[in-house]
Amino acid sequence: MISTKIKKLRNKFNIYKIDGYVIPKNDSYFNEYSSPDRLKFISNFDGSAGLAIILKKKNYLFVDGRYTIQAKSQCGTYFHIVEIHKKLPWEVLKRGVKIGYNPYCFTSLSLARYFKNYFKLVPIYDDLIIKKKSRKVDNKFYFIEDHISGESAKSKINKVLKYLREDKSDCLFITAPENVAWLLNLRGKDNPHSPIPNCRLILKSNGKKYLFTNKSKIQHLLKNKNLLNTKLIDENKIDNFLKVLSSRKIILDRLSCSLAYENILKNKI
């Protein structure tokens, strides 16, 4: 089964003119418990951290020391297991190979760490691993009370707005769901072990908010005070929205902002 999936992926290399393809554990929200779990799909490895690189004739799975035995057991037949704290991909791969990647699942910082500038990295916006499927959504979002969070969302937002105005920035682009959760006192069920709501937020210096998520998760909360001046936008429309903002001064977190979004804001795509 693993060999069949790897073969199907390799069959696409000539189409995209690449020598290999890198698959992270995380999804586009950079969650540890990713959905879909592309790494598990291609390798059968189900640890919480890892990185696979499929080449034309060889495969590597990079894991930390917690998972070496598990990785060898689950996919050692098909992958060379490398302890990533001992050797990073740029120290293992042959220089000059062209590596394809999903720009929604990597940041500019993570790619620099894994590959430095020794390889030609090819962004591929089509998902080569798993085709998207529409799913019924049951994991509704919810708000926690101010006395539980310790501070109201209004108070937190006002502090951020004060900074935006002092910095003369047009808006803040919050890409990490846990940061949106903190700011709005919002919670969800998109992570099996933490109350994470998969969403992203743009907060403009005038106080307007744009929340990007699956609308069915939050429409029942539209009248909540924490969503005042908030426009809900389907998460699949975020690319087009960012193109409108590309000429503005925007603050973003490069640790959690995908390279795809960063490039849109820089007018590179």
pTM score of the predicted model: 0.92
Q: Which two tokens stand for residue 169?
A: 């920035």
**Across all residues in the chain, what is the average pLDDT?**
93
pLDDT score at 53:
98
Mean pLDDT on 66-74: 96
Write the single-letter amino acid at 222: L
pLDDT at 132 over 90: no
pLDDT score at 137:
59
Concatenate the DSSP letters of all residues of 100-135 into one string.
EE-TTS--HHHHHHHHTTSSEEEE--S-SS------
Contacts of 255 (CB under 8 A, 6+ apart): 107, 109, 176
Write the single-letter amino acid at 105: C
Summarize pLDDT for 242-251 with one digit per residue, the tens.
998 877 899 9
**Binning pLDDT at 50, 70 and 90, where does residue 50 land?**
very high
Please choose, from the candidates 70, 102, 99, 133, the residue with its C-alpha nearest in 3D space to the C-alpha of residue 263.
Answer: 102
Give the DSSP H or E segment for 50.
none
Write the single-letter amino acid at 103: P
pLDDT score at 99:
98
**In Å, how far are 29, 64, 141, 266 from 110, measured between CA atoms?**
14, 16, 30, 18
